[in-house]
Structure 1
Amino acid sequence: MEHRGDPSQPPHPADILTGNYEEWKNSAVEKEVIIIGGGISGLTAAKTLIENNITNILLLEADIRIGGRVRTYRQGNLSVEEGAEWIHGGERNPLYRLAKQLQAVVPSLPDDVWDERVVTNNGRRSDPLKYEVVEELMEEADTNGILEPYYHTGYGQFYLDRFPEAYGKGWDSTLGQAWLHLLEKTVNAEEGTNNWLDMSARDADQYVAKGQDHHWRNGFGTVVEYLQESIPDDVIRLSSPVCQIFWDQDDGGGGGGGSKVLLVTNNGRASYSAGRVVVAISVGHLKERHQDLFRPPLPVSLVKDLNSIELGVADKIQIGWEEPWWGSKDPLSVAILWTDRNLPKDMEWLYGIVEISSVTQHPNVLLTFVTGEEAKVMESLPKDSVKRHLMRLLATITGLQVPEPILFTRSQWGRNPWTRGSYSSYITVEGDRSGLHKRQKLGMPLTNSSGKTVVFWAGEHIHNTRYGTVDGAMEVGEQQARRLIRKMKESGDQTYSKSTRVVNGIK
């Protein structure tokens, strides 16, 4: 829902041009570089610029906090992740090496400590060995070359084609189809997609894994704090949503290649001017708002590529107690097979939940994912209703009374106006067919009509092989900042030249 006149929300289109361009231009606070977006990619870009002695910068963050889709929720001694959950990989992942350097890596729990169960939605135990079918198919999908025949179709089609043979006799029975449903929802959660048939198999094939997952000690917010330490407080301006970006304007505001980019924030109540701008906002927000944000509009080719990518909605629900109540002291992992579909209408979003498991650092806290349309429905419900529905499901699948929890939290990334999605973007099938095969096309900077490169792009969605990861967002933020620095050097920007001489002098 739009809130007209509320600076904490994106402006309503009718409100955008109520100001005067000349007034905005004349009152603009001048900076050398402005970064839009205080997520991991934007923070990394700021850190990289500062480390290269480009300090006359400003980072504009629309929200009341930095970190973007990294958000650690803390309650007493408990810390859980509403956003990014894992460091994906070991020594090959620079984020893992950073966490290790900060002594912030938490090892995964060994397999033999878990209380693992497979049950139907009515609480009946089922054959846990069939879970190997799910695991083996997901591993098979990572085999080199196996997805090539599916490059012009959906990623999920590979699984639909392979499932009957992998499952064997009874694959089309009620129980077999419940396992297929579990596989589908598991893949959607793994990839962050709304629908596994909507994700291009070519895009899925380009992701490069870097080993086992790890957790951050004391929360993923540790990496936000690490990045923030390098950035002076006065560089970051919170609650400053950008509502207009004049990136190719003459002195009269009518278009014609001015040397500066003019940014208007807070529904016209503040303005800033910079020689270069890094746009590091969520691709979900960018897709929704680009027509209102950019003056002149973005190039048609870039808009076409933006329309070829989606940001999935994958939400978390976390519920915790002081001690386990599920019949054992071990951390719980329960897979749910929906053999019956008899829920009341308002509870049908629960069909999107196929696994509930303990959080590594807090085994008495249970975590579940819900994706796509079910996630959107869940987000629309009152928090108390979501809690009540989940507790009813837990009672049914365990056959036990569920005590009142001490912690309950759910994410709403789809409803968040600054994200409009969660952790992973994906090229759609139609996007692949229209020609977007490599994400770096989305990272090509904008050059104005005077030939000056003025707008640079950052964010996880630009990384070809590590999209949907924090390390991918960091890498893109650094790459785009270094690209900007090279452009400054090539054009002989005065401030950059001075900074370079100082650095060389130290060397």
Structure 2
Amino acid sequence: MVKFDFIFAVFLLVSRIKIARCMDDAVVIIGAGASGMTAASALLEAGYQDVLVLEAEPRIGGRIHTVVSNGTKLDLGAQWCDGQKSNIVYEKLSEWNLLEMLRRDHFPKQFYHSDRRNISYEFSGELAGIFRDAEGELRDSTKNLGDALQERYTQVINTKYNKSQEKLRISRDALSYLSHLVLRTRGAASWSVAAAYDPDYYNKQGFAYGWKDGFSSFFDALTRKHRINDKILLGKRVAKIVYGDALTKNVPVKVICSDNSVYPAKRVIVTSSLGVLKENVESMFEPPVNASKLTAIGNIGYGAVLKVFASFEANWWGNSPGFNFIWSDKDKADATIKFPFGPKNSKGESWITEHFHIFAVPDSKVLLVWYTGELVPIIEKMDQEILKDGIYFTLNLFLGHLFDVLKPITILRSNWKSNPNFRGTNSFASLKTTDQDRRNLQEPIVNSLGEPLIQFAGEATSIHRYSSVQGAVESGYREADRLIKLRK
């Protein structure tokens, strides 16, 4: 009898250990983007079994979205692996012996003026260097990005080209190009709402690489050791996260989706975009998040850029990597009259005057047309024929004397701003953003023992690499490590 009691006691102890282990494993990850998939992969690698990923979209990837159009793989979202140094994406590919997935991309350096005056390759290189240096010399500036850059840029060109009226005129016209260039990385609707300088941000170091099979191939490499797809539920938009005293000790969090499905968890990792948090934070959490997190969500900037892929019957641009367009004020006014279709910006100028940077997709018949600024939400929904006509009009205006320009036959565009599951592309440092905001955003919601109940990941929570995939990946590992260390 004593022997039986001993065995029974051991059985109960082991059973309780298994139950406790199971509940510690019960992690729900919201979002199957770069940070969510990274966190899931790291937890499974560490031995976690009960991991569930809820994704609102009908696909995985988040703001990484590779599609195939007419046989060409195109990235509607994140596109480049930026730099070899201090880049966890590059480092992981190196660790996995998969660097052959990358290709060295060559960006267009040649500038073209709207009045077709000649801009030499040498002068184009000078302008590119001035753009790069102007943004790099804003250390300690407390001004907004627009005022600081205009002031610095104007000082440089007035000194450098004071003996050449032609170069001075072109470089002054190039100021609007500079605004689009910096907004392409910031994502803000205007450069007047972005901070000129963020001391915490680490710029990329090294070359920018493209992906031979699209950025989504990174997920294949990330998840190859584990059957993560078996852990993902698609089409699950989270409506509410209930946590705290209202629930039991063993199930301290419940995730409720818009289809009324409920998923209990011991821990939750939220990787929703900052745009989604801005729109839903007050209704998403019960009880509400604390004031510091609410302030951080409000203070950190979040915006959008738009990518339009224009496909042609033939590659009419040859070996050119693409084009950079500089508009004069006169030509902007003339173009607005000659092409009156579609929206106008707050200055009354046609949307086609927002064309500034066109990138040739390697080994294809496709040009990537970038849009930034206030008209992004409108151009996302604009009539396709007007979009094709406007692109054709602009290409002819700038390049018709050099190339036999064709009209696009198909258009493929992103819709990050209008998509309720993203509401934009990336975060940025706004004039309201403080040094503490991103730290407050990544701070977990904890229980009475100080253990995390709800954690936060995603590029917006990265202090040094926000607005990038590498920042999102680092945040996924950060939150997975938080749980792994807690269990140990």
Contact 2:67/2:75, CA 8 A, preserved across alignment:
yes
Distance 1:365 1:417, change over 3 A: same
Contact 1:134/1:183, CA 8 A, preserved across alignment:
no
2:462 aligned with 1:463: yes
TM-score, normalisation: structure 2: 0.83
1:333 shift after superposition: 2.3
2:190 aligned with 1:195: yes
| Counterpart residue number, 2:453 | 454
Contact 1:202/1:437, CA 8 A, preserved across alignment:
no
| Counterpart residue number, 2:440 | 441
Contact 2:147/2:192, CA 8 A, preserved across alignment:
yes
| Counterpart residue number, 2:10 | none
> Matched residue of 1:420: which SS?
coil
Which one has a bigger Cα radius of gyration? Answer: 2
| Counterpart residue number, 2:153 | 163
- Structure 2 portions without partners, runs of 5+: 1-22, 344-349
| Counterpart residue number, 2:423 | 420
| Counterpart residue number, 2:177 | 182
2:248 aligned with 1:246: no
Q: Deviations over 1:181-238 (max 9, x none)?
A: 0111111113333322322233276223221101111111101222343243331000
> Matched residue of 1:346: which SS?
coil
1:142 shift after superposition: 6.4
1:380-395 paired onto structure 2 within 5 Å: 380-395=381-396
Distance 1:131 1:162, change over 3 A: farther
TM-score, normalisation: structure 1: 0.80
Contact 1:349/1:377, CA 8 A, preserved across alignment:
no
Q: Deviations over 1:26-81 (max 9, x none)?
A: xxx99711000010100000000000111111100001001000011212431111
Report the aligned-residue RMSD. Answer: 2.7
Contact 1:39/1:66, CA 8 A, preserved across alignment:
yes
2:238 aligned with 1:278: no
Q: Deviations over 1:404-431 (max 9, x none)?
A: 5454211111111111111x31121122
Contact 2:88/2:474, CA 8 A, preserved across alignment:
no
Distance 1:213 1:283, change over 3 A: same
Of all paired residues, the percent bearing the same amino acid is 28
- Aligned AA (1:277): V
1:275-424 paired onto structure 2 within 5 Å: 275-326=266-317, 329-339=318-328, 340-342=331-333, 343=336, 344=340, 346-347=342-343, 348-359=350-361, 361-399=362-400, 402-405=405-408, 407-422=410-425, 424=426
2:141 aligned with 1:136: no
Distance 1:476 1:209, change over 3 A: same
Distance 1:207 1:413, change over 3 A: same
2:85 aligned with 1:96: no
1:141 shift after superposition: 4.8
| Counterpart residue number, 1:237 | 233
Name the CA distance, whole Å, in 1 between partners of 2:103 and 2:190: 31
- Structure 1 portions without partners, runs of 5+: 1-28, 490-507
1:465 shift after superposition: 1.6
Contact 1:39/1:67, CA 8 A, preserved across alignment:
yes
> Matched residue of 1:430: which SS?
coil
| Counterpart residue number, 2:30 | 36
Q: Deviations over 1:3-32 (max 9, x none)?
A: xxxxxxxxxxxxxxxxxxxxxxxxxx9971
Distance 1:81 1:136, change over 3 A: same
**Is 241-250 or 194-203 further displaced after alignment?**
194-203
- Aligned AA (2:460): H
Contact 1:31/1:58, CA 8 A, preserved across alignment:
no
Aligned length: 443
> Matched residue of 2:235: which SS?
coil
Contact 1:443/1:456, CA 8 A, preserved across alignment:
yes
Name the CA distance, whole Å, in 2 between partners of 1:274 and 1:120: 58
1:365 shift after superposition: 1.7
> Matched residue of 2:230: which SS?
helix
